[in-house]
Amino acid sequence: MKKIFIKGIKGGTGATSVVANLACILKKSKEQVYVIDLDPKSDVGLHLGLAWAHEQGWSNYSTFNEASSQFHQDSDGVVFLPFGSNSQAQFSSAHIIEGCNQIDNSDNAWVLFDCPAHIDVTQYSLNKNDVFLEVVNCDPICHSLIYKRLQTLSQAQGQWQHYFLANRYNSASELEFDLLQLWQSDIPLLASLYINKDEVIKEATAFRNVAINCAPYSVANDDFETLAGWLVSRVNQDES
């Protein structure tokens, strides 16, 4: 099982849309894909066709077995588990992560976790085969937070793969262009790709869908295909 943890380095970076679009791209490649929402905002379902009024999720149950009744499947075949409406969940996200080992024993299955921005990466129990993507925007706040995170990671005991992923990149912005150039030369953990800003990502959410379904020939589709291929290479490199 390949576990990918995705969070924004701060709120509003678009991490949830990255999770949903990446999951659908991987599924279109005939992979078995699961998405687990660990964020109390419980927004993943809004991208994967879940009704707006649906409020139930794993946080509304006391055990993983009971919470399993809330697994849903979107039109692409992605299986996902919403967080739910109980911000004071009776069991923790750590139990959910551990429980995911029960849902699929296949080495080829992917599990994507949508993690809240306010929980630090070091609070998760990560294995050396896990990949953690921290989503950033090309702005001065993220710039400062990246260097703070690098300092934290240098003191961390874990051996997981950690990368920063630039999202919503606007090449027409001189500031964003300069920041990305600086990061590419100075940040050792920066992913070697970025997700361009594309209005279809916003539009798709209004239809409870993902950008790659609403505009399959868009820049967003190309970017998420590239991201999926890059992750496959990271996972395979670690396994070898």
- Cross-strand partners of 162: 132
pLDDT of residue 102: 81
| Cβ-contact 35, 80 below 8 angstroms | yes
For residue range 134-160, list pLDDT tens digits in order.
999 999 999 999 999 999 998 887 789
pLDDT at 79 over 70: yes
3-state secondary structure of 187: coil
**Mean pLDDT for the chain overall:** 91
- The CATH number given to whatever domain includes residue 215 is 3.40.50.300
Residue written as token pair 């099982």: 1
Query: What predicted TM-score, i.e. pTM, was given to this entire model?
Result: 0.94
For residue range 22-66, list pLDDT tens digits in order.
999 999 988 899 999 999 999 999 999 998 888 999 999 988 889
The CA distance from 101 to 130, in Å, is 13
The CA distance from 133 to 108, in Å, is 19
Q: Which domain holds residue 123?
A: 2-239
Model confidence band, residue 228 (pLDDT cutoffs 50, 70, 90):
very high
pLDDT at 10 over 70: yes
| Strands, E assignment, 82-175 | 110-115, 131-136, 161-169
Over residues 6-29, the mean pLDDT reads 95
pLDDT of residue 43: 92
For residue range 178-193, list pLDDT tens digits in order.
999 999 999 989 999 9
> What's the structural domain count of the chain?
1
pLDDT of residue 239: 59
